[in-house]
């Protein structure tokens, strides 16, 4: 009498039991690894605020891509970081045939043809003022002039072999402009992953160091979204889908799980969540102080993104996650208390932790 009939703890008693009843799964096939590219040869420049993340010269980027492919990561997202002397008012380096993204795309495509190559399409890394487009005399970013340049950039990236174009400039009509530009040049099969709901965010801080793309004045609030809004995100997403976006992205991710969920329910397209530089840096810094367990925290974050409805996850932990997932023990031991050593590699320990396990 008085004892519970429903004991939800029954299904939590062992690792095997918990695996059996899991609702959300993170698999290595969900992951997209961002990659920063710089000039030179044999360059591997670590980013201060993002320990473990580097800017690579193209030759090293090819080796790195090979490694990611061997770890079964399906895709990389490429960012070019040219030196200051190749930056100008319009950011024309973005569509240079021998630009960093174009060079790396050609080289990686040749060496690792199966890897899906996604090109970030924006100008903040290429303009001398650090804004995401062309400015007028009162220093506002001109939407329609920037659209022409986005289309040119997308075509040059597609020519180099990019599989997916990922516009992140937050210009109105950018998906239409890029789709038309691509189709006109015979690239109707090149996909578009639009940064549809991209918020103006403090979480981008470390990226701006990585990409040397901080705005020289002002901020990006006139084109990126205001963090107070959710209906507006759905409006952006709806327009991008109508304009022909194939994949929809929400960014940042961790503080925007409600947006991920709302977008997942609003459209049939695959939804990508971009776990941004600040999310990575916070955990890294805390882990370096011994205040957080990096692996457990990172795993929990990406699991939350899947649970919220993300299909794809862009994350600076992609490589670590691929390794962690590959060594995840199957485990059937009862009472596998937290803090105990994992079961190791024996007996199914080599499972990849993919969907459906």
- Closest approach of Cβ 268 to ligand PBG, in Å? 25
In degrees and rounded to multiples of 5, residue 155 shows phi and psi of -65, -45
Q: Residues 56, 95, 204, 317: which binds ligand PBG (CB under 6 A)? A: 204
Evaluate whether 214 touches 129 at the Cβ level (below 8 Å).
Answer: no
What single DSSP character describes residue 133? Answer: S
Q: Is 223 in the site for ligand PBG (CB under 6 A)?
A: no
Q: Is 141 in the site for ligand PBG (CB under 6 A)?
A: no
**Residue among 32 and 263 whose Cβ is closer to ligand PBG:** 32
- Closest approach of Cβ 125 to ligand PBG, in Å? 7
Q: Which of 87, 109, 198, 306 is catalytic?
A: 198
Largest CA distance in the chain: 79
**Residue among 195 and 336 whose Cβ is closer to ligand PBG:** 195
- Of the listed pieces 3-11, 20-28, 101-109, 204-212, which binds ligand PBG according to CB under 6 A? 204-212
Dist CA 36 CA 40 (whole Å): 13
Q: Residues 86, 92, 152, 208: which binds ligand PBG (CB under 6 A)? A: 208
Helix (H) or strand (E) holding 57: strand 50-57
Evaluate whether 307 touches 23 at the Cβ level (below 8 Å).
Answer: yes
**Residue among 112 and 272 whose Cβ is closer to ligand PBG:** 272
- Closest approach of Cβ 291 to ligand PBG, in Å? 22
Q: Residues 101, 122, 164, 182: which binds ligand PBG (CB under 6 A)? A: 122
**Residue among 17 and 282 whose Cβ is closer to ligand PBG:** 282
Please choose, from the candidates 38, 160, 169, 35, the residue with its C-alpha nearest in 3D space to the C-alpha of residue 91. 169
Q: Is 317 in the site for ligand PBG (CB under 6 A)?
A: no
Evaluate whether 329 touches 18 at the Cβ level (below 8 Å).
Answer: no
**Residue among 204 and 317 whose Cβ is closer to ligand PBG:** 204
Dist CA 299 CA 26 (whole Å): 9
Q: Which of 92, 109, 238, 251 is catalytic?
A: 251
**Residue among 122 and 263 whose Cβ is closer to ligand PBG:** 122
| Tokens matching residue 152 | 């040119």
Residues between 257 and 286 with contacts to ligand PBG, criterion CB under 6 A: 276-277
**Residue among 56 and 204 whose Cβ is closer to ligand PBG:** 204
Q: Residues 56, 126, 187, 207: which binds ligand PBG (CB under 6 A)? A: 207
Evaluate whether 116 touches 129 at the Cβ level (below 8 Å).
Answer: no
Residues in the chain: 357
- Closest approach of Cβ 188 to ligand PBG, in Å? 25
Count how many Cα atoms sit within 13 Å of the Cα of residue 197 in the half-sphere of its side chain.
33
| Residue 180 annotated as catalytic | no
- Of the listed pieces 37-45, 202-210, 228-236, 281-289, which binds ligand PBG according to CB under 6 A? 202-210
- Of the listed pieces 94-102, 117-125, 148-156, 238-246, which binds ligand PBG according to CB under 6 A? 117-125
The string of DSSP letters for 227-266 reads: TT-SHHHHHHHHHHHHTT-SEEEEES-GGGHHHHHHHHHH
Q: Is 168 in the site for ligand PBG (CB under 6 A)?
A: yes
The string of DSSP letters for 269-338 reads: S-EEEEE-HHHHHHHHHHHHTTSS-HHHHHHHHHHHHHHHT-SEEEETTHHHHHHHHHT------BT--T
What single DSSP character describes residue 141? Answer: B
Dist CA 22 CA 328 (whole Å): 15
Enumerate binding residues for ligand PBG (CB under 6 A). Answer: 120, 122, 124, 168, 204, 207-208, 220, 276-277
Q: Which sequence positions are flagged as catalytic?
A: 198, 251
């Amino acid at each position: 009498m008085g004892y519970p009939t429903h004991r939800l703890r029954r299904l939590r008693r062992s690792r095997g039991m918990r695996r059996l009843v899991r609702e959300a799964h993170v698999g290595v096939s969900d992951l997209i690894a961002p990659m920063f590219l710089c000039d030179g040869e044999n360059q591997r420049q670590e980013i201060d605020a993002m320990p473990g993340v580097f800017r690579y010269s193209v030759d090293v980027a090819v080796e790195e891509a090979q490694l990611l492919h061997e770890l079964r990561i399906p895709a990389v997202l490429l960012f070019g970081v040219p030196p200051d002397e190749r930056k100008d008012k319009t950011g024309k380096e973005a569509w240079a045939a021998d630009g960093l993204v174009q060079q790396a795309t050609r080289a990686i495509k040749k060496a690792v043809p199966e890897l899906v190559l996604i090109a970030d399409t924006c100008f903040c890394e290429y303009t001398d003022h650090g804004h995401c487009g062309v400015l007028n005399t009162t220093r506002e970013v001109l939407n329609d002039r920037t659209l022409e340049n986005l289309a040119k950039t997308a075509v040059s990236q597609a020519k180099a072999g990019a599989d997916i174009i990922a516009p992140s400039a937050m210009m109105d009509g950018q998906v239409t402009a890029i789709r038309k530009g691509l189709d006109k040049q015979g690239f109707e099969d090149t996909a578009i992953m639009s940064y549809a709901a991209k918020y103006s965010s403090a979480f981008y801080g470390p990226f701006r160091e990585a990409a040397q793309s901080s705005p020289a004045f002002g901020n990006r609030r006139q084109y990126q979204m205001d963090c107070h809004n959710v209906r507006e995100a759905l409006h952006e997403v709806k327009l991008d889908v109508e304009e022909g976006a194939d994949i929809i992205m929400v960014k940042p991710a961790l503080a925007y799980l409600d947006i991920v969920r709302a977008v997942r329910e609003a459209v049939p397209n695959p939804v990508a969540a971009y776990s941004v530089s600040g999310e990575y840096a916070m955990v890294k810094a805390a882990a370096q102080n011994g205040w957080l367990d990096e692996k457990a925290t990172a795993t929990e974050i990406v699991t939350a993104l899947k649970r919220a409805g993300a299909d794809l996850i862009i994350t600076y932990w992609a490589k670590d996650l691929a390794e962690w997932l590959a060594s995840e023990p199957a485990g059937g031991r009862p009472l596998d208390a937290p803090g105990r050593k994992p079961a190791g590699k024996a007996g199914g320990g080599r499972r990849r932790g993919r969907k459906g396990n």
